[in-house]
Structure 1
Amino acid sequence: MATTAIKRKLWIGSAKAAILPMATLTLVGLMIVPVPSFVLDVGFILNIMISLAVLMVALNVEKPLDFSAFPTVLLFTTLLRLGLNVASTRVVLVNGHTGAAAAGHVIEAFGHFLIGGDYAVGLFVFGILMVINLVVITKGAGRVSEVSARFTLDALPGKQMAIDADLNAGLVTPEEAKARRQEIATEADFYGSMDGASKFVKGDAVAGVLILAINILGGLVLGVVSHKMAVGEAASTYIQLAIGDALVAQVPALLLSIAAAAIVTRVSSPLDLSDQITSQFGSARAWTPVAGILAFLGLLPGMPHLIILPAAALAGGTAWKLRKAKAAAAIGEVPAAATASPTAIGWEEVSDGAALSLELGYGLVGLVDERKGAPLMTRITGIRRQLSRELGFVVPLVRVRDNLVLGPNSYRISVAGVVVGEDECWPEDLLALDSGDLTARVEGRMCKDPSFGLDAVWITPERRGEAVVAGYTVVDAATVIATHLNQLIAHAASDLFGMDEMQKLLDALKESAPQLVAGLTPQPLSLAQLAAVSRALLAEGVPLKDFRRIAEAIVDSAREGADPIPLVEAVRIRIGALIVQTIVPVRMPLPVITLDAELESLLAQAIRVGPNAQHPFEPALAQRIVGAVADASAPMVNAASRFAIVTSPIARRALARLLKPHLPETPVMSFLEIPDGKAVEVVAIVGGKPGEAPAAARPRLEMVQ
């Protein structure tokens, strides 16, 4: 049964796929192969039916994109009508002398019923229909399509920027942003196609006039010359057939022109066209003047009172019902409003699901204003993209909002609800950073750079050239905030990583290494344990971008136990090459600061005494270690050079926790994490005796007895 159902679905799919090619070949066949009058009757009725269906769909869509196939449908319906015109022209010219039924009953009915058998009347009716279709509807719809296409394409960049701004502000999810981008791209394609499709309707109307002229002239010539008919008889017969043929084609053409005009003049609304018009005409204030004016006209002498006064009564009754319905709706809303207690508090008022938040004072709102290009939003998007690549997981959206509690030029950055940074900046000024090699000083508002603590000064844009010449590094306010945000996000990467991000990493890895993921979780480690290990690595500056290698190291290390603390240390040893390459390029030696052997022994002894203590070192000892390491690393820090502090495996974790608040950018590694063959350059030995350190700084730690 299942096999039969699958075969049936495949057959149905193949049949659907073959419908359009077969229909196209049929249209071409109508233009080339002679067909009997019965086939013409079927084709004309089918043409009218399709045109009516297209018009009904166009009137009932909520927005133009809901009928995105309309340009293509318009093309094929125009081809169908032209194919029928060619086929009917052949039949009229070949068999027209036999009588009014020569081209089928549909053409005969249009020739007799609609124009009363008088071909002169038919010519005038056809002319009026052509003026309505070609001059009024088609020309207007074509102009609207052209303007809509131009405005849609001009507005495309602004709409894209608005989506990026909403995405960065956390107002939409990435999936919603992707759907909105797809929608505006489809909208641009649709209006561009409609601009060209409107030419089909115009060309079809012109073709209808030419076909009518050919049928009349050809019929008169053939009737008089070939069939020896009198001129009056030939004119009566062939013109009536030509008019019937033209009308039976122009009625569907008029319906499609109305559909095209309705589509391009629609404004997006949750209502269809009927409901939209009804809702906008449902105002008592609009119908009351109408009733009054009609009543006044109906009382004037000589006016048709029996027609105007009932119309006035109808307009007045409509206004009264609309006013009554509005009053009832207003009364019905009062209890609903009363049920909302002023003391009620909703969850949305006390919870904020944004992991990253940037609050701006009202003076900084211009940095995210779309009308001014939203420079801050553009930089935030670039920051999130770059950090996501470096860290190995997607950095959450940054919710940007104003906060009237802050000062006008203040901003505040929060991570997971905790304020991690705040400062001030002036959106109209520039920040000149002291590079340390200045030739002159520039006057301005003195401050400290919020990201790196450098001496800086806020200057006016007119002093930019002067500051650059003096040796300052000049940046704008958006760059200041974005750089500060970038630094804080990088430091708080572990706070942004949770089990959801862990699951997404596993899902991505499963596509290329399914067996590795199967051997990783749920045994020997649960999702929570994996997330804890990954957070610990991120907290120490180890990115997850090469997660496959990290996962392999976790699998190997988990055989010795699933406790996160020793597991992290074991994983670090196995991915030491990854850690080193985040510090220096592969061909450069690794600059390191090491500890004296006696100091190493003292640290190891303190850790053995309190293996589970958060801070196993004595306060005085810890303070001296921090001071000595800071002195030893000062030349490297001032030169903005990357280096590592290397210690024994047993002391690495405790020493890293001790030094992180003071040297957050400096990794602390164990000897075992440095790969074999990696060149190492010892720049200082903390606690060593003179002569043991290289020619670089030799700070000493005087505390060991």
Structure 2
Amino acid sequence: MKFRDYAILVSVIMIVIMMVIPLPPLLLDILIMINISLALTIILVAMNTQEPLQFSIFPTLLLLTTLFRLGLNVSTTRSILTNQTGGQVIETFGSFVVGGSAIIGILVFLILVIIQFLVITKGSERVAEVAARFTLDSMPGKQMSIDADLGAGMISDREAKTRREKVGQEADFYGAMDGASKFVKGDAIAGIIITIINIIGGLMIGVVVHGLPIGEAAQLFTLLSIGDGLVSQIPALLISTAMGIVVTRAVSDGNLGSDVTRQLFAYPKMLYVVAGTLMMLAVFTPISPLLIMPVAAVVAFSAFRMQKTLNAEEASEKDSDPGEKEAAGLKSPESVNDLLHVDAIEFEFGYGLIPIADKNQGGDLLDRVIMIRRQCAMELGIVVPVIRIRDNIQLQPNEYVIKIKGNRVARGDIMLDHYLAMSPGVDDENVYGIETVEPAFGMPALWVDEDMKEEAEMAGYAIVDPPSVVSTHLTEIIKRHAHELVGRQEVKSLIENIRDSSPAVVEELIPNLMSIGEVQKVLMKLLKEKVSIRNLLVVLETLADYAPQTKDVDLLTEYVRQALARQITRQYAPDNEALKVITAGASLEKKFADSVHRTEQGNYLSIDPESSQTIFQKITEQAGQLQQNGVQPILLTSPAIRIYMRQFVERFAPDLPVLSYNELEPEIEIQSVGVVNIP
């Protein structure tokens, strides 16, 4: 702990101690001046904050200052009743400030209490209560707004986290202010009671204990009690005013002084009306013109000066060329640095597709993007980066493109006033429309209008609305390129998430056995073959088991795939049904095994072009037959050559799954519907 931390702790303890231990009048004078100085500091800070959260400690500070004043009240009461004095400050307030009159002192004290209790404190309490209620009610809407901005790419994950924290802090702050306002209310009531006790108790002690005449005792103790009440109520009034300023302040780009001068005097011409009104009072009322005319003249002169300044500012803004400002901005280092940033995922569309993204026109693309990110997190186990959505006038009106790290990877055309109809396999002559290709899977389809939609549905066509076409295409692109979206920073975040629940496996694996980059390569290879990494704990435990034996990333990936056998089996046979596969024959496996060359830099596959063409034709033929029967083709091979078979197949059929026997659960039934052999 630092010195200031100890100072705060000691100060709080001393406040409690001074309620018990008598203090000399000199020390009371010092503490009273500290109390007044603290109150002035608080109100000045409140006036210079731009938003309430900049003074978030205010509720706690309000409690501590209230406790400090009550502790002073106890100490001064003890000193007044015991020593017939409360110090020089109290005597000054009791004699000089109120003119030595007990009646005037009582009236002034009561007025201060009424102002604080009925006006400032009551109003501040109500404002804090309403602000707390509205802040809590608006939290869900603010959270949804943040999620929408995040999904649209308008803000980053860090900005979204900061804004969510701010929303929570606002709710906590106004809730605390609602409770803290009760301290001020109780302090005002306590001030009245303590002053009454001082007057009555002082009168009794002065007559009975000190033997003073009743008139002298009343005069002495009443003035001292009123002085004590004033020196405590004035700081309390300042702090109550500070509380009112804090809870009534809206978010602004300046402090209270700048906001008041800028907004109150924003219309200088209105001050001429004020000056004219004052002059009319001087003419038509008995008030002396010598009193009103100087004030009216000052107001009129101020209006003239402010109007002149305002005209000069407007002229300078007109003279400045916006093009020059923009050019100067583009030359700044900050602007150049912004140009270096490349978004991980971008979705650009022509101006004709603006309605699908504009909420005011009924577009729900932003909400769909949020659901896409959640779906990918559930299915792939990755956090998809923010998807940047923007319109691009260089595209055709109905065209959209999808970019991954600045490079276009897909495009499509949609018609907002039509529906995409996909044939069930047998075309119906009565269903006609604009021929097209479904962008996500490349299937032939038709754009049909509203009148043809019902007939297409009756004919068995699958009908999809344009926003669903876009969201489906975007989802498939993200899944296809998921391995490109997992960088070292993303992998580190995933590992840190695992570290919170299973620190042992992370500490064993990283950095002793593998680096973040090596783990990233394994995860990228899994995602490239559409294997989810959501069960990251199993992945890391498997790597920790086999990393001491080999540093070959390809081989480690195979071990991980085998550890995820249950997951891979359920991925291709979700209902535990029989798995129809194309089997790699013995001759094909021997060909691959003989074509693997092992070097110090790693293993690679080398097959002559003639054999490659033959293998390509046979696999394509078998896979095409299964696709025609509505079955997803799967190539099954032995564990030893699976990785090389995958490297070969992904050149011409990247979506064809290549599995090994060790990646399937023993109880799953395998039906070989085709065998690939070579001469």
User: Into which bin does the TM-score normalised by the smaller protein fall?
Assistant: 0.7 to 0.9
Aligned to 1:693: none
Aligned to 1:137: 120
Q: Is the CA contact 2:22–2:78 (under 8 Å) kept in the aligned structure 1?
A: yes
Q: Structure 1 residues 612, 321: closer, same or farther in 2, change over 3 A?
A: farther
Identity %: 33
Distance 2:432 2:203 in 1: 96
Q: What is the correspondence of 1:333-352 to structure 2 with a 5 Å cutoff?
A: 333-334=320-321, 337=324, 340=327
Aligned to 1:5: none
Query: How much has 1:130 moved relative to structure 2?
Result: 2.5
Distance 1:361 1:177 in 2: 28
Aligned to 1:160: 143
Give yes or no for the alignment of 1:264 onto 2:253.
no
Amino acid in structure 2 at the alignment position of 1:398: I
Amino acid in structure 2 at the alignment position of 1:75: L
Query: How much has 1:167 moved relative to structure 2?
Result: 2.0
Q: What is the correspondence of 1:552-591 to structure 2 with a 5 Å cutoff?
A: 552=544, 555=547, 558=550, 568=554, 571-572=557-558, 575-578=561-564, 581-584=567-570, 588=576, 591=579
Distance 2:449 2:67 in 1: 68
Query: How much has 1:145 moved relative to structure 2?
Result: 1.6
Give yes or no for the alignment of 1:308 onto 2:302.
no
Amino acid in structure 2 at the alignment position of 1:582: I
Give yes or no for the alignment of 1:669 onto 2:656.
no
Q: Is the CA contact 2:561–2:663 (under 8 Å) kept in the aligned structure 1?
A: no
Q: Structure 1 residues 299, 444: closer, same or farther in 2, change over 3 A?
A: farther
Aligned to 2:345: 356
Q: Is the CA contact 1:600–1:647 (under 8 Å) kept in the aligned structure 2?
A: no
Q: Structure 1 residues 570, 88: closer, same or farther in 2, change over 3 A?
A: closer
Q: What is the correspondence of 1:609-628 to structure 2 with a 5 Å cutoff?
A: 611-612=605-606, 617=611, 619=613, 622-628=616-622
Distance 2:10 2:364 in 1: 51
How many pairs were matched up? 652
Distance 1:550 1:422 in 2: 41
Moved more, 176-185 or 207-216: 207-216
Distance 1:499 1:474 in 2: 41
Query: How much has 1:135 moved relative to structure 2?
Result: 2.7
Give yes or no for the alignment of 1:19 onto 2:10.
yes
Moved more, 253-262 or 662-671: 662-671
Query: How much has 1:684 moved relative to structure 2?
Result: 1.2
Moved more, 323-332 or 135-144: 323-332
Amino acid in structure 2 at the alignment position of 1:71: P
Give yes or no for the alignment of 1:319 onto 2:306.
yes
Distance 1:661 1:224 in 2: 109
Query: What are the Cα deviations for residues 56-97 of structure 1, in whole angstroms up to 9, with x where unaligned?
Result: 22122222111111011111212222233344344444555x
Give yes or no for the alignment of 1:516 onto 2:509.
yes
Q: Is the CA contact 2:348–2:389 (under 8 Å) kept in the aligned structure 1?
A: yes
Q: Structure 1 residues 364, 220: closer, same or farther in 2, change over 3 A?
A: farther
Q: 2:485 aligns with which of 487, 496, 516?
A: 496
Aligned to 1:116: 99
Q: What is the correspondence of 1:396-475 to structure 2 with a 5 Å cutoff?
A: 396-403=385-392, 411-416=400-405, 417-424=407-414, 451=440
Secondary structure of 2:139's aligned partner: helix
Q: Structure 1 residues 295, 365: closer, same or farther in 2, change over 3 A?
A: same
Distance 1:407 1:12 in 2: 67
Give yes or no for the alignment of 1:193 onto 2:181.
no
Aligned to 1:75: 63
Distance 2:337 2:178 in 1: 46
Moved more, 176-185 or 652-661: 652-661
Q: Structure 1 residues 387, 601: closer, same or farther in 2, change over 3 A?
A: closer
Query: How much has 1:423 moved relative to structure 2?
Result: 5.0
Q: What is the correspondence of 1:39-50 to structure 2 with a 5 Å cutoff?
A: 39-50=27-38
Distance 2:363 2:169 in 1: 25
Query: What are the Cα deviations for residues 221-246 of structure 1, in whole angstroms up to 9, with x where unaligned?
Result: 55567766555444423332222122
Query: What are the Cα deviations for residues 262-308 of structure 1, in whole angstroms up to 9, with x where unaligned?
Result: 11121222322223334435647357626853785598484126623
Amino acid in structure 1 at the alignment position of 2:410: V
Aligned to 2:671: 682
Aligned to 1:99: none
Distance 2:199 2:457 in 1: 83
Give yes or no for the alignment of 1:56 onto 2:44.
yes
Query: How much has 1:577 moved relative to structure 2?
Result: 3.5
Q: 1:542 aligns with which of 519, 531, 538?
A: 531
Q: 2:637 aligns with which of 637, 641, 647?
A: 647
Q: Structure 1 residues 627, 344: closer, same or farther in 2, change over 3 A?
A: farther
Q: Is the CA contact 2:596–2:605 (under 8 Å) kept in the aligned structure 1?
A: yes
Q: Structure 1 residues 651, 418: closer, same or farther in 2, change over 3 A?
A: farther
Q: Is the CA contact 2:401–2:411 (under 8 Å) kept in the aligned structure 1?
A: yes
Moved more, 166-175 or 102-111: 166-175
Aligned to 2:86: 103
Secondary structure of 1:646's aligned partner: strand
Query: What are the Cα deviations for residues 577-612 of structure 1, in whole angstroms up to 9, with x where unaligned?
Result: 325632327995872523463762696499689944
Secondary structure of 1:62's aligned partner: coil
Distance 1:411 1:495 in 2: 21
**Structure 1, unpaired ranges of 5+:** 1-9, 97-101, 689-703
Q: 1:395 aligns with which of 384, 387, 401?
A: 384
Moved more, 447-456 or 413-422: 447-456
- Give the TM-score of the pair, scaled to structure 1: 0.76
Amino acid in structure 2 at the alignment position of 1:192: G
Distance 1:219 1:89 in 2: 9
Q: Is the CA contact 2:23–2:75 (under 8 Å) kept in the aligned structure 1?
A: yes
Q: Structure 1 residues 256, 328: closer, same or farther in 2, change over 3 A?
A: same
Secondary structure of 1:171's aligned partner: coil
Q: Structure 1 residues 226, 676: closer, same or farther in 2, change over 3 A?
A: closer
Q: 1:172 aligns with which of 155, 162, 187?
A: 155
Amino acid in structure 1 at the alignment position of 2:619: I
Secondary structure of 2:289's aligned partner: coil
Secondary structure of 2:671's aligned partner: strand
Secondary structure of 1:188's aligned partner: helix
Distance 1:213 1:472 in 2: 89
